[in-house]
Structure 1
């Protein structure tokens, strides 16, 4: 069942509210409409403060204390963009034009024809429902894709097509130390709760540095810098993000302490190289991701990162330049990779 359309009627005529309630009593009873009433613009704004979920405002133009045009100006400043329908005298084209320029969705003339009112409300309902659907799609996409990927898809549906392109990016991979042991001691629901706290904080940091989260792998995070939006400073961003993520662990551990649990620690690796980025999968199920040897190498190197440490490769150091301060170096050979 669709949610009720929430409407505020604003008019100083005392007989209007009973008339509207009688006309739409069945719609209210069936949960199709949710009606509120105010006698002028001042009372309307007070009602909207109490009921920010109201979607449609039907307002008279001539009222005491605050008229309809002034109310429209206030509505335009509010965070929620209410659909406004103005009611005015027949032939009052100047006020109608002003109201429409101030964002009114439609208008009705006095005396109100209840049949016309119902048609206008139905038109508003269709528009509100389309906006609800679009909002749901944006929210759903945003929960599973980075903001940049989501915006690209919403702006161009062809961005969903399978395929990829070669691009130099920096890849970051983080993993918690000892989380598996902690998971064995806690109830599954508690593990998910703590994991969401950790991932939520890390996501904030990653977003701040323009990273694209490729996926969560349990408590591990795989992040791309330089895709889908190309960035010349992707290596610098990746290293700076890794350092910021380590610093943010103090916030995570503050929550852990409140729950009576021991601190968590994380190791991070960053690598830079040419990969293929794009939509990977099948026509029915796909994801924006990254494929290539540099990704595999990042995963291998991450196992070398001690708790609280950020390990970067020579490729990342060279790409980032002098902005990165190296505390120590080591030379390791990774199985399956020719270069040390």
Structure 2
């Protein structure tokens, strides 16, 4: 089975760890890059031209997710899932993310570091990821 290459962009080491653990049970996806802010993520885009999916937080130091998204859409064809606690439906952050080309938004359930992400949003995140890369949901 071919794997779909993923980059995780989140300033929280704990959230990157939660996402990595969550994706261990998803052999159809392979995390090939991590970045703790948008600036580092842009550097990773240059190294990984074949990325298919980016899981992107919004609130990060140095370069936030929305600024990264603006640049990333010019450099990459990867689909972007905003994974953030501030991009709730109807919020200005969600509207801006959509305007800048985000393909989907999954809200972190309990703040910037959501240790309960898998329990509360795991099914939604899995379905969204699969749908965006053309896998059966």
TM-score (norm 2): 0.79
Structure 1 pair 101–42 and aligned structure 2 pair: CA distance change class (3 A): same
Deviations 1:200-221 (CA, angstroms, capped at 9, x unpaired): xxxxxxxxxxxxxxxxxxxxxx
Question: For residues 274-293 of structure 1, what are the structure 2 equivalents within 5 Å?
Answer: none
2:102 to 89, 104, 120: 104
Gaps of 5+ in 2: none
Partner of 1:81: 77
Question: For residues 37-116 of structure 1, what are the structure 2 equivalents within 5 Å?
Answer: 37-78=34-75, 80-86=76-82, 87-89=84-86, 91=88, 93-110=91-108, 111=110, 112=114, 113-115=117-119, 116=121
Q: Does the aligned pair in 1 maintain the 2:79–2:103 contact within 8 Å?
A: yes
**1:12 equivalent in alignment to 2:11:** yes
Q: Quick one: distance in 1 between partners of 2:70 and 2:79?
A: 13
For the aligned residue pairs, the C-alpha RMSD in angstroms reads 2.0
* Structure with bigger RCO (C-alpha 8 Å, 6+ apart): 2
Partner of 1:124: 129
Q: Quick one: distance in 1 between partners of 2:39 and 2:122?
A: 23
Q: Quick one: distance in 1 between partners of 2:24 and 2:129?
A: 18
Q: Quick one: distance in 2 between partners of 1:127 and 1:20?
A: 17
Q: Quick one: distance in 1 between partners of 2:80 and 2:87?
A: 18
Q: Which runs of 4+ in 1 moved over 6 A?
A: none
Deviations 1:232-275 (CA, angstroms, capped at 9, x unpaired): xxxxxxxxxxxxxxxxxxxxxxxxxxxxxxxxxxxxxxxxxxxx
Gaps of 5+ in 1: 131-340
Q: Quick one: distance in 2 between partners of 1:90 and 1:62?
A: 10
Partner of 2:25: 26
Q: Quick one: distance in 2 between partners of 1:71 and 1:117?
A: 24
Q: Does the aligned pair in 2 maintain the 1:108–1:117 contact within 8 Å?
A: no
Whichever of the two has the greater Rg, that structure is: 1
Q: Does the aligned pair in 2 maintain the 1:88–1:96 contact within 8 Å?
A: no
TM-score (norm 1): 0.34
